[in-house]
Amino acid sequence: MAFFAGLVDAVAGGGGLIQVPALFAAYPDAPPATLLSTNKVSAVGGTLNAARRYLRHVSLPWAVVGPAIVAGFVGSLLGANAVSNFPAEPLRKALPFVLLLLLMYTWFQPSLGEIHAPKGINRFQQLKGILLGISIGFYDGFFGPGTGSFLLFGFVRFFGFDFLHASAATKLVNVATNLAAILLLASFGQINWTLGFAMMVANIAGSQFGSRLAIKHGSAFVRKAFLAIVSILILKSAWNAYFLN
């Protein structure tokens, strides 16, 4: 499952849809925090590998992406710290509807993300990068599902990236948010390192295959994969929020 998670995540995000349920099914008696943190260890390897492969083929405006990466790291730390103080239930209930809006907007804008036309770099664009990074980073540290999809949409919609370049930028920010969560959880001793590193190897192998597919077939392929992943995430999050006790 870690292999398939790496493949899916490298293309359009959403690898957690595969990897997290697999961990809970394989280790039903393990503490949830341990399984979620072990998932982060596995995922960060595949995400970093996918980012490396993308950067061989695309060029990113670092004046925007760089601040988003740093802000994502800080936001994830803040979100992870907030978990014990605020309930996640309202967010869990709202997630399917937020994702549905994102899906509908993308579906009815067929030219969105088709052409890579990043907006001019200025302080406002940099500020938007910081806001995107810290808000989605906070969400990832606090709750998590759909983080890659939200980042991908954000880079396409607010910065004029095509889906291929947006996927590359998403991977870099996602590496930062995952690392922040890993550092925090490691300080509490809540990570199964042996399992996490074993899964990381498989996740990296999957990300190799997935990023190769995305680079070969381009933005149109990534857009279709994005729509499919978000559709599945809507169904999964709605099931978890409204039908599971």
Q: Which of 79-88, 96-105, 201-210, 225-234 is modeled with the greatest confidence? A: 201-210
pLDDT at residue 129 in the model? 94
Q: What is the pLDDT confidence band of residue 136, given thresholds at 50, 70 and 90?
A: very high
Q: What is the pLDDT confidence band of residue 198, given thresholds at 50, 70 and 90?
A: very high
CA-CA distances (angstroms) from residue 30 to 27, 56, 149, 183? 6, 39, 28, 20
- What residue has token string 């880079």? 155
One-letter amino acid identity for 43?
Answer: A
Spatial separation of the C-alpha atoms in residues 153 and 172, rounded to whole Å: 15
Taking the CA atoms of 50, 63, 115 and 162 in sequence, report the sign of the dihedral they define. positive
Tell whether pTM > 0.75. yes
**Cβ(76)–Cβ(176) under 8 Å?**
yes
pLDDT tens digits along 21-65: 888 888 888 887 788 888 889 989 998 998 888 888 888 999 999
pLDDT tens digits along 153-196: 999 999 889 888 999 999 999 999 989 988 887 777 778 899 99
